[in-house]
Amino acid sequence: MQANPNFPSTRMRRMRRDDFSRRLMRENVLTANDLIYPVFVLEGEATVEPVSSMPGVSRVSLDGLLRLAEEAQNLGVPALALFPVVGADKKSEGAEEAWNPDGLVPRVVQALKANFPDLGVITDVALDPYTSHGQDGLIDPADPRGYVLNDETLEALAKQALCHAQAGADVVAPSDMMDGRVARIRAKLDEDQRIYTRILAYSAKYASSFYGPFRDAVGSAGNLGKGNKYTYQMDPANSDEAIREVALDIAEGADMYMVKPGMPYLDIVRRVKTELQVPTYVYQVSGEYAMLKAAAANGWLDEKACAMEALVAFKRAGADGILTYFALDAARWLRAGD
C-alpha cells in the first residue's frame, strides 16, 4: 500500500509543535565561529568617537581597540577586520601612507598580534582611506574624467598588502575591485616568502548605496564628494558577472571570497557557494546595520530577533562567515541562549 504524501497523512506542522523537534530538524545553525567583527581605529589615546549613522559603533584608538579585541576573543569571535580612520594630513593623490611601515594599520596589527596571538587579524587593502579624492585607486591628475587607473593601482595595492603582512596580518582583504589585484598581491607576498598570508578577496563587491554610513565612519565620504565608484564596483543588476569575478579570483590565488553587501545579495551568496564551492563570506554592511538599529530605536522592530534572523539568512544562503557590526552582540545573545 502506497503511503499518502499529502494532508492529512502529511502534517508539516507536527515537527514545529515543540522546541525540541524544531531544534532537531534545524538545517542551519549560527555560532560565534561564523562572525567577523569590523572595527574602526584611529590615532590617539583614550579616544572614542561614536559614529552617528551607526548607533553602537565608534571609532576607537588602539587602547580601546585592545579592549574590544579581548572581548571578541572571550566571546569566541574568531577575527577582527580593521578599517583605519586617517587624518587629512595623511591623505594624498598617491596614497603613499597606505604602505608606510610606521603607519596606523601596521602599528595596530603588531599590537593586536602581540596581545592576542590567536585572534585573527584581517586588514583592508584599498586606497580610499588614504587618497585625497576618496577613490579606491590612483587617478591621473590631468584626466578630467577622474578615471581610476587600474594597473598603476595594482602596484600600490601590492605594497600595501605586503606592508600589512610584514606587520603580522593573518589575512589581507583587497576591497578595491581592480582587475588583476589578487594575482599581483599573491605574487608580491610570495616574493617575500609570505606564503601563509591569506587573501580574502572582495570578489563580488557591488556599487551599492548601502555603504553611506561606512564612508562617514572612515572619513572618505567628504573626499569622494559627489563622485561614485561605478567604473570599478559591480552593477547591482548583474549576477552572472559575480560568478565570473569570483572564478577569476580563484584562478589568481585568493583563499576566501566575499560578497558585499549582504541581505540584498543573498542570491549571489547562494550562487557562489553552490556553483563554485569555495569559502564564501558576506558583509552585512553599514547601511543594513543602520536600518535595523533605526527601526529598533523607533520600536518598529525587535533588534535582537531581526538581527539574528538576518545572520541566519546569510548562513542559509551559504555563507561560511559573516562580517557584521552585530558580531559582539550576536555572540553574547548566542552565549545567553546556551
Give the residues across from 258 on adjacent strands.
Answer: 281
pLDDT at position 274, please?
Answer: 98
What's the rounded Cα separation, in Å, for the pair 1 and 3? Answer: 6
Residue 91 annotated to the active site: no
- For residues 140 and 93, the answer to whether their CB atoms sit within 8 Å is no
What's the rounded Cα separation, in Å, for the pair 121 and 304? Answer: 27
Give the residues across from 50 on adjacent strands.
Answer: 58
Q: Considering the entire predicted model, what is its pTM?
A: 0.94
Catalytic residue among 205, 229, 293, 315: 205
What's the pLDDT tens digit per position in 291-338? 999 999 999 999 999 999 999 999 999 999 999 999 999 999 999 976
Helix boundaries (H) for 25-103: 62-75
Instruction: Please list the helix, strand and coil fractions of the chain in percent, rounded to the nearest 5, in that order.
Output: 45, 20, 35
Catalytic residue among 260, 273, 293, 315: 260
- For residues 229 and 207, the answer to whether their CB atoms sit within 8 Å is yes
What's the pLDDT tens digit per position in 124-177? 999 999 999 889 999 998 888 889 999 999 999 999 999 999 999 999 999 999
Residue 260 annotated to the active site: yes
- Gap between the terminal Cα atoms of the chain: 45
